[in-house]
Structure 1
Amino acid sequence: MTAEKAETTASDAIAGTTEGPAAPGPRALARRRRQASVARFWREFRRHRAGVFGLAALVLFVLVALTAPLTVGSDVESVTDAPGRPLESPSGQFPLGTDQFGRSLLGLLVWGSRVSLLVGLLAAALSVTIGALIGITAGHFRGWYATVMMRITDWFLVMPTLVLAIVLATVLSRSLGTIVLAIGVTTWPTTARLVRAQTLAVESRPYIERAKALGGGHWHIMSRHVLPSVMPLVLAQTTLIISSAILAEATLAFLGLGDPTVVSWGGLLQDAREAGSVSSGDWWYLVPPGVGIAAVALAFTLCGRAVEAVLNPRLGVSR
């Protein structure tokens, strides 16, 4: 019995040694690769001091916008309950002065950041979605479809973006959705061009030919192989377009084409112009919204450049 037990114990030990721990499944491996990619991206991104500064500024702006109902209250837009006199200069009670209705400009600036950031993000998302869809499909199908799509893209490229946005904002109703639509449908051509070029480069690789030989259809090729390869380019392009979208929203609001029922930074500039702040020298009505627009646009641009440099080290952007 002792010999049999020893033999059984030895066989169990050998079996346990040969079997070892269970190998991770495909999903676990994919999760580990994604985590490693994110860690590597963040490690490279932190080396770009300008990008880190821009990211910190964006986090601050987002926190200010999200906490606006708690810090300044939702009644800051009310004209009837304005706490001050019209066009008061900065003081202890009103650090940035008041507007033409006696409302606190600091509260309006904080509340307006919500609209400007929201419109910028939604317009950039719409623009990148249209550009990526047209770029991937035009690079995949080619032929007459690609020719037609690229001629349409060229037409949008040569047309002034601001003029097209003004036309759309004038024809449609004055609302935030109209502003988002006007900016989104006029700023996608650059993304479409870049994505199409990247799609052509990806589809010339050998593994795409193997996927086609194994029976992969159009949707499989575009969604499983092309889209993951162009996503870094789309991400970098999104961060760059957001700053342009915020500037475009401010321009349209300054021209009086925004939603008059909401407060935005561009709308504050338009109100200051109507109140005659330029000629009367009420600088506190003009400077804060302009500085806010410039700061957010600069922060997104710095982040976009850093992301672009991480995803494409050949750019050689200074750190």
Structure 2
Amino acid sequence: MSAASGDVPVRLTARQVARRRRRESWSRNWADFRSHRSGLVGLIILGFFVFLALAAPLITDPEGVTLSGATGGVLEPPSREFWLGTDDKGRSVLTLLIWGARVSLAVGLLATVISMVIGTLIGLLSGYFTGKTGALLFRFTEWFLVIPFLPLAIVLATILGPSLLTIALVIGVASWPGTALLIRAQTLSIKERAYLERARVLGAGRWHQISRHILPNVTPMVFANTTLTVSVAILSETTLSFLGLGDPTRISWGSMLDDAYSIGAITTGSWWYIIPPGVCVVLVVLSFTLVGHAIEDVLDPRLKGRR
């Protein structure tokens, strides 16, 4: 409506403008993401496994993972009753796979959150602060970076004891240095930009500069790196469980591989016990990797047009 008609133009508040811009940004990013076929394939695969993990109590019997719920013979091959055969205790391998998805995904996501929080915090502080504080944090990150990941994770898991929380904590604590170095490099670049200098001149404090200017600019990089780190965390959980350092009371894909190796599933020809969990690990890691690369391409304008 024109001003001559007597209608007063509606003025949006700063918060409403910010929300509108945020919605437009999300819509634009989603449209860019949909143009990535590999990213969509990864998202579909990931959604399928997330659905299995969430719907496990609805599509399978929770007693099927217990010894008392075993209804089949020992290492029966696939059949109409047991689509993926049974394990050495007579339990359905398909049921174990579905319930194992809950543990593997949960541990992977929790470990990634821990890694991202520690890495982002240390990366921001080591990049923003100069002098002894920044140098000390940078050296601390380098010290953690040169320690071999697997031996460190094995030592921590052995000391803290086997449990799902321990495995997630161990993976998160052992895998944050790469994120910290990435965020530090971004912070050093952003700190030299003109708008941050204007904020300092106007009297903005350090916390205001970090939380309102630097953190929002590094968040897309953190988000893209998160999806790539999840795949590493899931592989690490599988490795630690395979080595017998996982929670013995919970079923995961790693513990299934460990049990299959312990009973000699390869030498006895029980392929249905060792191949399915291995394939599930590969598919989930691949899906997170595809989604992560697609998100990185969408959020980083330097990568657009290089597909």
TM over 0.5: yes
Q: Which aligned pairs between 1:226-241 and structure 2 lie closer than 5 A?
A: 226-241=214-229
Q: Match for residue 78 of structure 1?
A: 66
CA distance in 2, matches of 1:317, 1:166: 42
2 CA distance for matches of 1:51 and 1:174?
35
Distance 2:199 2:115 in 1: 30
The one of 250, 258, 261 aligned to 2:246: 258
Structure-2 residue corresponding to 1:192: 180
| Corresponding residue number in structure 2 for 1:105 | 93
SS in 1 for 2:80: coil
Residue 209 (str. 1) matches residue 197 (str. 2): yes
Root-mean-square deviation (CA, aligned residues, Å) is: 1.6
Matched, 1:279 2:267: yes
Is the CA contact (8 Å cut-off) linking 2:298 and 2:304 kept in structure 1? no
Cross-structure match for 1:9? none
Structure 2 unaligned residues grouped into runs of 5+: none
Please state if 1:165 is matched with 2:153.
yes
Shift of 1:38: 0.2
- Residues 108-187 of structure 1 aligned to structure 2 (within 5 Å): 108-187=96-175
Is 1:90 the counterpart of 2:78? The answer is yes
Residue 105 of structure 1: how far off its partner (Å): 0.3
**Could you say which residue in structure 2 is the equivalent of 1:3?**
none
Q: CA deviation at 1:283?
A: 0.5
Offset of residue 316 of structure 1: 5.8
Q: Distance in 2 between matches of 1:214 and 1:261?
A: 58
Note if 1:22 corresponds to 2:15: no
Paired residues of 2:46 and 2:287 also in contact (CA < 8 A): yes
Select between 150-159 and 189-198 the one with higher mean Cα deviation: 150-159
For the 8 Å contact 2:65–2:91, the answer to whether it is kept is yes
SS in 2 for 1:107: helix
Aligned residue for 1:248? 236
Q: 2:13 corresponds to which letter in structure 1?
A: G
* Aligned-partner Cα distance in 2 for 1:173–1:18: 74
Residue 66 of structure 1: aligned partner = 54
Quick one: percent identity of the two aligned structures?
53
Q: Deviations over 1:67-93 (max 9, x none)?
A: 000001211211022110111111110
- Higher-Rg structure is 1
From 299, 302, 305, the equivalent of 2:287 is 299
Deviation at 1:140, TM superposition (A): 1.1
What's the secondary structure of 1:83's corresponding residue? coil
CA distance in 2, matches of 1:73, 1:313: 48
Q: Which runs of 5+ in 1 are unaligned?
A: 1-13
TM-score by length of 2: 0.97
1:278 Cα deviation after fit:
1.8
